[in-house]
Amino acid sequence: MRHQSNWVDGAYQTPTKEQILVINPATEASIATIDSTPLETVNSIISSSLQNFSTGVWSRADASARFAVLSRAANLLRSRLPEFVALETEQTGRPIREMRAQLPRIPEWLEYFASLARTHEGRVTPFKGPVVNTLTRLPLGVVVQITPWNHPLLIATKKIAAALAAGNSVIVKPSESAPLSVLEMGKLFQEAGLPDGTLQIVSGYGRETGKYLCESPLIAKIDLTGGLGTYKAIAPTASANLIPITAELGGKAPVCIFPSMSIEKGVRAALFASFIASGQTCVTGSRLLIHTDIYDEFVTLLGSRTIKLRIGPPTDDRTQVGAVISQDSVKRCATFVSEAIAEGGRILCGGKPTNVDGKGFFFEPTLIETKATSNLACNEVFGPVIALIRCESEEEIISVANATSFALGASVWTNDFNQAHRVAQNINAGIVWINGHHLNDPSSPWGGFEESGLGKENGLEAFESYTRVKSTIINYGQEPTWFDEEVTDARYG
Q: If you write DSSP's letter for every residue of 365-386 in order, what string do you get?
A: -EEEE--TTSHHHHS---SSEE
The answer to whether the beta carbons of residues 319 and 97 sit under 8 Å apart is yes
Q: What is the pLDDT of residues 64-77, one digit of tens each?
A: 999 999 999 999 99
pLDDT at 1: 85
Q: Kindly report the CATH number that applies to the domain delimited by 2-248+458-473.
A: 3.40.605.10
Per-residue pLDDT, averaged over 314-323, amounts to 97
Q: Is 488 helix (H, G, I), strand (E, B) or coil?
A: coil
pLDDT at 490: 55
The band of 286, judged by pLDDT with boundaries at 50, 70 and 90, is very high
Per-residue pLDDT, averaged over 179-188, amounts to 98
Q: Is the pLDDT of residue 362 over 70?
A: yes
Q: Is the pLDDT of residue 493 over 80?
A: no
Q: Is the pLDDT of residue 196 over 60?
A: yes
> Rounded to whole angstroms, how far apart are CA atoms 463 and 470?
16
Q: Is the pLDDT of residue 486 over 80?
A: no
Q: Is the pLDDT of residue 480 over 80?
A: no
The band of 478, judged by pLDDT with boundaries at 50, 70 and 90, is confident
Q: What is the pLDDT of residues 138-176, one digit of tens each?
A: 999 999 999 999 999 999 999 999 999 999 999 999 999
The answer to whether the beta carbons of residues 448 and 248 sit under 8 Å apart is yes
Q: Is the pLDDT of residue 489 over 80?
A: no
The band of 481, judged by pLDDT with boundaries at 50, 70 and 90, is confident
The answer to whether the beta carbons of residues 93 and 361 sit under 8 Å apart is yes
| Residues identified as active-site | 248
Q: What is the pLDDT of residues 67-108, one digit of tens each?
A: 999 999 999 999 999 999 999 999 999 999 999 999 999 999
**Beta bridge partners of residue 471, listed in sequence order:** 135
Q: Is the pLDDT of residue 245 over 90?
A: yes
The band of 487, judged by pLDDT with boundaries at 50, 70 and 90, is low
Whole-number Cα distances in Å, 116 to 86, 100, 112, 226, 463: 31, 27, 6, 27, 8
> Rounded to whole angstroms, how far apart are CA atoms 69 and 167?
12
State which amino acid sits at residue 30: S
pTM: 0.95
> Rounded to whole angstroms, how far apart are CA atoms 303 and 248?
32
CATH class of 254-434: alpha beta
Whole-number Cα distances in Å, 56 to 163, 167, 196, 307: 15, 9, 12, 57
* Strand-pair category, 254-257 with 287-291: parallel
Of 193, 412, 382, the C-alpha closest to 290 is: 412
Mean pLDDT score of the chain = 96
* Strand-pair category, 7-8 with 11-12: antiparallel
Per-residue pLDDT, averaged over 281-302, amounts to 98
The band of 484, judged by pLDDT with boundaries at 50, 70 and 90, is low
Sketch the domain layout of the chain as residue ranges. 2-248+458-473, 254-434
The answer to whether the beta carbons of residues 179 and 34 sit under 8 Å apart is yes
pLDDT at 104: 98
Q: What is the pLDDT of residues 392-439, one digit of tens each?
A: 999 999 999 999 999 999 999 999 999 999 999 999 999 999 999 999
